[in-house]
Amino acid sequence: MCGIVGYTGPREAYPIIIKGLKRLEYRGYDSTGVALQNGGIKVYKKKGKVAELEDTIVGKNLHANVGIGHTRWATHGEPSDRNAHPHQSASGKLAMIHNGIIENYSQLKNELLKKGYTFKSDTDTEVLLNFIEEIKTNNNCSLEEAVRVALKRVTGAYVILLLDAEEPETIIAARKGSPLVIGVGKGEHFLGSDASPMLEYTKEVVYVNDYELAIIKPDELILKNLGNEKITPYIQKLDLELAAIEKGGYEHFMLKEIFEQPQTIYDCLRGRLDAEAGTITMSGIEQYANQIKNARRIVMIACGTSWHAGLVAEYVIEELCRLNVEVEYASEFRYRNPVIDEGDIIVAISQSGETADTLVAIETAKSKGAIILGVVNVVGSSIARASHGGAYTHAGPEIGVASTKAFTAQLAVLTMIALKIANIKGTISHERYMLLLKELNEVPEKVAWVLKNADKVKKLAEKYKDADDFLYLARGYNFPVALEGALKLKEISYIHAEGYPAAEMKHGPIALVDETLPVVFIATKDAYHEKVVSNMQEIKARKGKVISVITEGDDLSTSLSDDVMIIPEADEIVAPIISVVPLQLLAYYIGVARGCDVDKPRNLAKSVTVE
């Protein structure tokens, strides 16, 4: 979390930095700040979003060709002007921005306090900055050298960018555990937490690795390890267009991303799934075919919405491949002493590819001999690079903080992986295999069908927007969809919502049911349908409001529901990719109806690079 931007070159730095920060606000928006090299270092910072900083510094002399900027998701110290980045060192000659957490900051702070330092903020960042300055002054060395020495003492995660008033053209950057991309232009360099701030200027980028330090000048990029040895920067070509990160006429990114799903699911299947030939081509999976075939089990590791995708995959893989699957919260997995044997297959699922807990969890599993397959959206991200193989989800940049199109793309990839393994293991009949390929192929058009009825969901949102609580119930493949529906609503409307397996309702949640409680059933036609219908009856009998996601033509469920959201008929294996879409819309429209900032919900960030 936290977004960082930097620029050094002949252009005006401030507009590049501000525009870049706006694109990175998905990473946090508690405060914003910039530091500019303008006859000494000038820092402007403020609590709140980027636009608020812009408003307050109108009319200031912002001319500079070198600068850094930060959008914050608070960890150490409340969101406030004084805790906003950039921080300045005691002498005022250094400025620094930071994404991550310095875990041993209190120890470093105590050392500095004994030496007479005082601090203006509550942040770990200001501590590290002064620690660097102390080394620079004591050793009478360059900033680069001081950073290298300081980082050897630091535990935690970081990307840091530093300016030094004495070297006004240079930005020093270093990374461990948080992302850093450097854009290489002609006589200029751009820095960002991802490539979005530099898209219109260059397509050539360098992804900085952990324990690397960069010295960046307009016409020079030097990469070194912490042992001061030079590393040749590996320049990659970006395959990303500007339009992909803009709203394209939609009111919010979230709505745009919901509506993009027919295309993104299609993009995810394209070139891989051939329903007529009966083939699924996934080279990053195929190369581990033997190991997967002989594996004792698969462990899925993820957080948030990606964890829900893992739960759907558990049902699908166990059914189709007769292979044991466990789904783990990365944050729990990494701090236990998990039993992982050589040859276990780990599937790491992540939209951003930067989630700190997932990243550490896969490193833990790797060290025990597991094979890591990444199901990741952001190309070149840390998790993608840390994985042995896997498959990208190709959903394109997801900017809305609440995940939508990344989730359905994850389900599409995981279903293809399941079908591939089932085929390799011979646990699926040819007829069923061919039918499911066809079903998967038809998902994009079925999702498009659901989206045509978005206005009906909008009306439902108006009707239920004032509820205090929601319950989401389902069974089987749709149970994780209930969890996801509830999470979406919580995230963007701040309404309390819980997802439960429908049968578990009678073990507690049913006590909540009265005439004010909306209960959302995902009751599509599948093997569990009759049971779910019985659960609906139980809610109706207690006067709860029943809102159901049903299959077209299901009159029984319609008669039991106060309101319905309809999806076309689909095999139960692929149904979750479709049934989640009305729930995304419901959450979105309720969030908007309640006046919430749906793209940037309070307290959340899209990329959680702290533990």
Cβ neighbour number for residue 113 with a 10 Å cutoff: 12
Candidates 2-10, 167-175, 219-227, 345-353: pick the segment binding ligand G6P (CB under 6 A): 345-353
Candidates 59-67, 267-275, 348-356, 432-440: pick the segment binding ligand G6P (CB under 6 A): 348-356
Of 409 and 502, nearer to ligand G6P (C-beta) is 409
Residues in the interface with ligand G6P (CB under 6 A) total 16
57: which strand partners? none
Single residue of 130, 305, 423, 535 touching ligand G6P by CB under 6 A: 305
**Is residue 401 part of the contact set for ligand G6P (CB under 6 A)?**
yes
Single residue of 154, 300, 608, 610 touching ligand G6P by CB under 6 A: 608
Of 94 and 245, nearer to ligand G6P (C-beta) is 245
**Is residue 355 part of the contact set for ligand G6P (CB under 6 A)?**
yes
Between CA 194 and CA 522 the distance in angstroms is 36
CA angle 16/18/20 to nearest 5° reads 65
Candidates 9-17, 352-360, 364-372, 535-543: pick the segment binding ligand G6P (CB under 6 A): 352-360
Query: CB 19 → ligand G6P: shortest distance, Å?
Result: 23
Query: CB 604 → ligand G6P: shortest distance, Å?
Result: 5
**Is residue 351 part of the contact set for ligand G6P (CB under 6 A)?**
yes
Query: CB 252 → ligand G6P: shortest distance, Å?
Result: 15
CA angle 133/139/141 to nearest 5° reads 75
**Is residue 381 part of the contact set for ligand G6P (CB under 6 A)?**
no
CA angle 572/487/420 to nearest 5° reads 35
Of 512 and 604, nearer to ligand G6P (C-beta) is 604
Candidates 90-98, 287-295, 302-310, 579-587: pick the segment binding ligand G6P (CB under 6 A): 302-310
**Is residue 352 part of the contact set for ligand G6P (CB under 6 A)?**
yes
Tokens 């409680």 sit on residue = 517
**Is residue 393 part of the contact set for ligand G6P (CB under 6 A)?**
no
Query: CB 254 → ligand G6P: shortest distance, Å?
Result: 11
State how far the alpha carbon of 228 is from the alpha carbons of 39, 146, 152, 162, 225, in Å.
30, 12, 12, 18, 5
**Is residue 379 part of the contact set for ligand G6P (CB under 6 A)?**
no
The per-residue b/e assignment along 288-307, b for 16 or more CB within 10 angstroms, e otherwise, is: beebbeebeebbbbbbbbbb
- The site map against ligand G6P for 568-607 (x = CB under 6 A) is ------------------------------------x-xx
**Is residue 303 part of the contact set for ligand G6P (CB under 6 A)?**
yes
Query: CB 16 → ligand G6P: shortest distance, Å?
Result: 26
225: which strand partners? 212
- Enumerate residues 111-140 that contact ligand G6P by CB under 6 A: none
Contact between 376 and 353 (Cβ < 8 Å): yes
Tokens 């990243």 sit on residue = 359
Of 112 and 596, nearer to ligand G6P (C-beta) is 596
Between CA 304 and CA 606 the distance in angstroms is 10
Tokens 């359905």 sit on residue = 408
Of 491 and 554, nearer to ligand G6P (C-beta) is 491
Cα torsion at 278, 283, 284, 289 (round to 10°)? 70
**Is residue 37 part of the contact set for ligand G6P (CB under 6 A)?**
no
Residue 144: Cβ-neighbour burial (10 angstroms; 0-12, 13-18, 19+)? buried
**Is residue 304 part of the contact set for ligand G6P (CB under 6 A)?**
yes
Query: CB 606 → ligand G6P: shortest distance, Å?
Result: 5
Between CA 560 and CA 45 the distance in angstroms is 55
Contact between 208 and 195 (Cβ < 8 Å): no
- Is 2 part of the annotated catalytic residue set? yes
Contact between 278 and 446 (Cβ < 8 Å): no
Catalytic residue among 2, 268, 303, 596: 2
Between CA 102 and CA 154 the distance in angstroms is 7
Of 314 and 439, nearer to ligand G6P (C-beta) is 314
Cα torsion at 310, 314, 316, 318 (round to 10°)? 160
**Is residue 306 part of the contact set for ligand G6P (CB under 6 A)?**
yes
Of 198 and 383, nearer to ligand G6P (C-beta) is 383
Q: Are strands 297-302 and 279-280 parallel, antiparallel or unpaired?
A: unpaired
297: which strand partners? 324
Catalytic residue among 49, 136, 490, 606: 606
Of 492 and 570, nearer to ligand G6P (C-beta) is 492
**Is residue 75 part of the contact set for ligand G6P (CB under 6 A)?**
no
Between CA 388 and CA 459 the distance in angstroms is 47
- Is 596 part of the annotated catalytic residue set? no
**Is residue 551 part of the contact set for ligand G6P (CB under 6 A)?**
no
Catalytic center residues: 2, 606
List of residues contacting ligand G6P (CB under 6 A) = 303-306, 350-352, 355, 358, 401-403, 604, 606-608
